Amino acid sequence: MGDLITMDDLTNEEILQVLDSARRLVPVAKGEVYLPLLQGKVLGNLFFENSTRTRMSFEAAMKRLGGEVLNLSSVGSSVAKGETLYDTMQMVDGYADIAVIRHPNQGAAQYSADAVEIPILNGGDGAGNHPTQTMLDLFTIREAHGSLEGLNVVMVGDLRYGRTTHSLSHALVRFGAKITLVSPDALKMPDEIVSDLKNHGGEITETEEMSSSIDSADVIYMTRIQKERFPDEDEYMKVAGIYKLTEDDLSEAKSGMIVMHPLPRVNELHASVDSTKHAKYFQQAFNGVPTRMALLCRSLGIDIPEVVK
């Protein structure tokens, strides 16, 4: 019940409840209010792939709520000695009350959840899913636009390997979004995901060209080309640097349009965008803290007070 592996683990109503909780927790996330709801609880932070935001914001979320964190990475653990994921998870089951796992293999989060009793949160499984990122993305969109309903969202970049867009597009079509998928042919959103989006009533447009989608967008979601998932460097070089969003591209954008990026950025999002009113990606990264607080509480069955004082 407490697992979060894909966005299918949450109903639309549950998504909105978590987002409401996250909003109440913003003062706690900022450190203005101390609310030790998770005192005595231990989070296992299991990162078998690089991470800055997901790992640190989960740790910040846990600590701001009075909880403790155990960190495990593939470097410095018995994973380097050949210990299996199954065995590692048996240890975590005994040491922690809940765990977040990031792993290069698609399906590893579900596999881990099946192996243990404690709730498992998927912090990114290969080119699969990244639902906690989606929750903070939805939080960011809802705070900016007041609602998740019926938005015009443009997703740009590596839609083939980019797990953030896989989870986010699925969630958004459930709220009636119209989505434009911008990528080179080699990095198109996988067919099964596009079919899923259409089956959920999503109005989906696929194109290789970015600029014509900008002016009507409510959200532009830029993504990094996922170099580490390419079978060889030559294939990566063919598409590296293919999209670059700059301040000049935004001259005709809607006034309330927001530019998002899960980060890290490489060269697809120029620093000139940072000082525009559209830039939301650093705020988005902060939003990981209250959103992950709300998700941790949900998975652990802890109620969040209506008014946080």
Nearer to ligand NCD, 133 or 140 (CB): 133
Please tell me the distance from the alpha carbon of residue 4 to that of residue 99, in angstroms, as a whole number.
11
Q: In the complex with ligand NCD, which residue's Cβ is closer, 49 or 304?
A: 49
In the complex, what is the shortest distance from the CB of residue 208 to ligand NCD, in angstroms, rounded to a whole number? 20
Q: Which is nearer to ligand NCD, 204 or 263 (CB)?
A: 263
Quick one: which H or E segment has residue 155?
strand 152-156
**CB count in 10 Å sphere of residue 284:** 26
DSSP per-residue letters across 20-78: HHHHHTHHHHTTSS---TTTT-EEEEEESS--SHHHHHHHHHHHHTT-EEEEEESTTSG
> Mutual orientation of helices 131-145 and 12-24 as an angle, nearest 10°?
70
Using the minimum distance from each CB to ligand NCD, give the nearer residue, 4 or 253: 4
As measured in angstroms, the least distance from the Cβ of 55 to ligand NCD is 9
Instruction: Give the separation between CA 17 and CA 38, rounded to whole angstroms.
Output: 19
Rounded to the nearest whole angstrom, what is the least distance from the CB of residue 252 to ligand NCD in the complex? 28
Query: If DSSP codes are grouped into helix, strand and coil, which group holds residue 259?
Result: strand
Please answer whether residues 206 and 188 qualify as being in contact, where contact means their C-beta atoms are separated by less than 8 angstroms: yes
HEC secondary structure over 96-140 = CCEEEEEECCCCHHHHHHHHCCCCEEEEEECCCCCHHHHHHHHHH
Q: Looking at beta carbons only, is 158 or 218 nearer to ligand NCD? A: 158
List residues binding ligand NCD (CB under 6 A). 53-54, 124, 130, 133, 163-164, 224, 262-263
Minimum CB separation of residue 92 from ligand NCD in Å reads 20
Cβ closer to ligand NCD: 164 or 169?
164
Q: In angstroms, give the least distance from the CB of 282 to ligand NCD.
A: 12
For residue 225 the two structure tokens come to 């080309």
Query: Cβ of residue 84: shortest distance to ligand NCD, in angstroms?
Result: 23
